[in-house]
Amino acid sequence: MISFRTRLLFLFLIAAFASVAPAQQPPTAAFSLALEVRFYPQQEPAYHAVSSKRDGVWFARFGHVPEWKQPENSLPVTAVNIQSELAEGGVRVWVSVFLGEIHTEEKAVKSYVLTEGEKVTVRELAEFGVEPFEIKVVRLPPMIGEPPKFVSKARSIELVVMEPILSTLPAYKLVVRNLSAKPVSALHVQTLEDGRMRNSLMPQGKEAEPIIAPGGTYEFNARLATRTTPTADGYSPVILPNQIIEISSAVFNDGSFEGESETVISFAAFSKGRKMMLEKVLGLLQKSQPANDSATATNLEGLKSVVAELKLEADAAAVEDVGNKLMGLGADQRRLRTLIELGMKGVRDQVLRDITQFQLRYRYADPKPIHDWFTASTKRYEAWFGRL
């Protein structure tokens, strides 16, 4: 059974990253490599497809080292993050741990370049109180499986197309249409097997843009559920039968929704947190940017430092404000606080990525590109703030 916290973090992280990219394209034969991860003692491994773009998955369930003591003033490890990317000569793998309930910190553990068939034990995880994971690069045949059933609990969202993707791990491409007169801001999509949620995602628009205009369509990929079975030389994933891809809910740009209330609660609290953090960032941008064209790399590095120090704390007034807007939906204060702080973290992380990417592109201290970045970023974040 997946805990509320685990499911919540999963939904948020998928939304935070997947929503900014177009729907995935059908993989090529190169995508037949996968990581086989033994993440919990005496349990079958999990699989994650390897692609040419750095991508990954994190595990909130793991074994704990007996009698290990958490250092003072240190947040607990709440997940192990494993990312991979196709590289010359094999697969590059990065292992890190997330600390804190909302993954406040990330600490690098180990990195590898592995060839097909090679297996490693990440013994360094024991230093964080986590029983070592085993990671192996394997080659899997493409999987399709029988077509799942489609269900929409949001009456305004209808299926247009559903077709299989020839991929390392089984998935289907879906195109859905918005029949309402209102733009859709977010969807909640679940893959169910025997009534149990197996996979879940919450696609939403980039920087509070709607994802489906009235009468428009939206394309996304939904993974099917698999189980791992023993084979003569190890393990292999097998597709589970009788699966359902369900649109559990749709949230519209005016705050109304259709389907289950879970998504509107999450989305409203995320939006509140994002707006709070954007307001702080915009204030810092105004303070950091000189009045003329004399902005320097020092100004930018100073901005980066103060953004990184911004606290991820939702005050009582923010929690009460969201709670008042969600009357009758059963959103308790502790849950809302966590959701708001997740929204704050998402914006802070995005701003830090934006600054880092600019610094990598412009390594010289030419003031004009830096000044232009301040101007363009301020307009962009103001527009994002205005849509929330």
| Residues 333-387: tens digit of each pLDDT | 888 999 999 999 999 999 999 999 998 888 766 778 888 899 999 999 999 999 9
Q: What count of other Cβ atoms lies within 10 Å of the Cβ of residue 375?
A: 14
**Residues 51, 10: contact at Cβ < 8 Å?**
no
Q: Give, to the nearest 10 degrees, the angle between helix 316-325 and helix 262-288.
A: 140
CATH 2.60.40 in the chain, residue ranges: 149-259
pLDDT of residue 338: 93
* pLDDT reading at 274 higher than 70: yes
**Mean residue pLDDT across the chain:** 88
- Residue 212 burial (C-beta neighbours within 10 Å; 0-12, 13-18, 19+): buried
One of 2.60.40, 1.20.1740, 1.10.10, 1.20.1630 is the CATH number of 149-259, namely 2.60.40
Token representation of residue 282: 């915009």
pTM of the model: 0.83
* pLDDT reading at 7 higher than 70: no
Non-local CB neighbours of 147 within 8 Å, separated by 6+ positions = 162, 164, 172
